[in-house]
Structure 1
């Protein structure tokens, strides 16, 4: 991935600090705003047609989420990706989602939603649309939680993985996305067979892929990461 940030997509509406925050939050997660990049209150306020105050509030919220760093007398900068936060979220996801997989395998519910998300990933992969690919990936895991009768579990997990998502938007531009789809198919096949052990193993293998990707991305872009 090039070190130059992509142009920021303008939000459809940004009338409040929360809307500005949500827009910037999405830009950080997708890599449209890169670690170390300076944020200008004046420029962003002009782009969204607001005063600087709601933009300043949005910057503060980004900092509270660990996605920005406010440096007194110097400005606000996009924070680096916390490897500790990535590894923590990955560990929690593996523990929780492997249990969800065992539950789904025992229930043998309708899994058409998981099939649909694999198909959506295939389309996104063919179009080289990494954000759409990752959205379908998330929907696959959300559908598994839904099939387990615990949709709120995915909502809880989703709140933990902001730093993980930043890594994914970097790594999915570099690593083999077809391997990710193959891992999803292995999970789905085990679930459809009602094989709880195989489903758990497939989920663990899938989520451990990040243990290989993280050090490689950190070595390739050391300025983007912090312990």
Structure 2
């Protein structure tokens, strides 16, 4: 949990704390059931407790922690239903984005996307899982920019934290990065051909990967999931 991090003055403190704690939870550095101490975290970042409380509220909204009055704030187990809901919403949004991106994409934007894909391949070859996840996010965010709808990424960011926990677990167990890169190339090639139907089909299949991986991941990591 002790990831090196330094507060800067260019961004609200609560957002910085939220971001690093979100990363710790998503990357399994903080397990389900862990009590998050306001005092310990405020000491860790050398800040007052107020921005820590605000960060906890954002984490709760993202479905990562549960704030229990008089008891504390605990990291939640992964909810399969929340993952399914987020994937459904994300797929609906990104399918529309893919169609629009296929119409608007420029040669310069294709070069940027292709460069990102090359970096994904390098990260996968070197087993740099965290780097690959970051580049994966960058690829999808670039699609929003190509479609001239950057606000779409903010919407996706607000709902995908629980999905990201499954993504992190699945990369080493169920969905190897190289398979995901192949799917990214199908999306890229559809954009390059300016084919909205193919782009929508490619990204729909890509996001279906979560449907295929959730059950084996939950079975292999039962302590991490909330089994009703």
TM-score (norm 2): 0.85
1:54 Cα offset (Å): 4.4
Other-structure match for 1:89:
86
- CA deviation profile, 1:115-173 (whole Å, cap 9, x unmatched): 12111211221222212111111111111121122222222222221111121111122
Other-structure match for 1:188:
188
Does residue 33 of the first structure (1) align with residue 30 of the second (2)? yes
1:74 Cα offset (Å): 4.1
What are structure 2's unaligned runs of at least 5 residues? none
* CA separation of 1:43 and 1:183: change in aligned 2, threshold 3 A: same
Indicate conservation of the 8 Å contact 1:21/1:61, yes or no. yes
* CA separation of 1:103 and 1:167: change in aligned 2, threshold 3 A: same
Of 42-51 and 31-40, the range deviating more from structure 2: 42-51
Distance 1:201 1:214 in 2: 21
Other-structure match for 1:70:
67
1:14 Cα offset (Å): 7.5
Indicate conservation of the 8 Å contact 2:62/2:162, yes or no. no
* CA separation of 1:58 and 1:195: change in aligned 2, threshold 3 A: closer
For residues 70-149 of structure 1, what are the structure 2 equivalents within 5 Å?
70-110=67-107, 111-149=110-148
Give RMSD over aligned pairs: 2.2
Instruction: Report the count of equivalent residues.
Output: 221
Other-structure match for 2:219:
219
- CA deviation profile, 1:170-219 (whole Å, cap 9, x unmatched): 11222311000000011111221222222221111100011011111111
1:72 Cα offset (Å): 4.5
Distance 1:64 1:203 in 2: 27
TM-score (norm 1): 0.86
Distance 1:192 1:144 in 2: 12
Of 174-183 and 42-51, the range deviating more from structure 2: 42-51
What are structure 1's unaligned runs of at least 5 residues? 1-6
- CA deviation profile, 1:62-99 (whole Å, cap 9, x unmatched): 23432112344543321112222211121122222222
Indicate conservation of the 8 Å contact 2:37/2:73, yes or no. yes
Distance 2:29 2:183 in 1: 27
SS in 1 for 2:208: helix
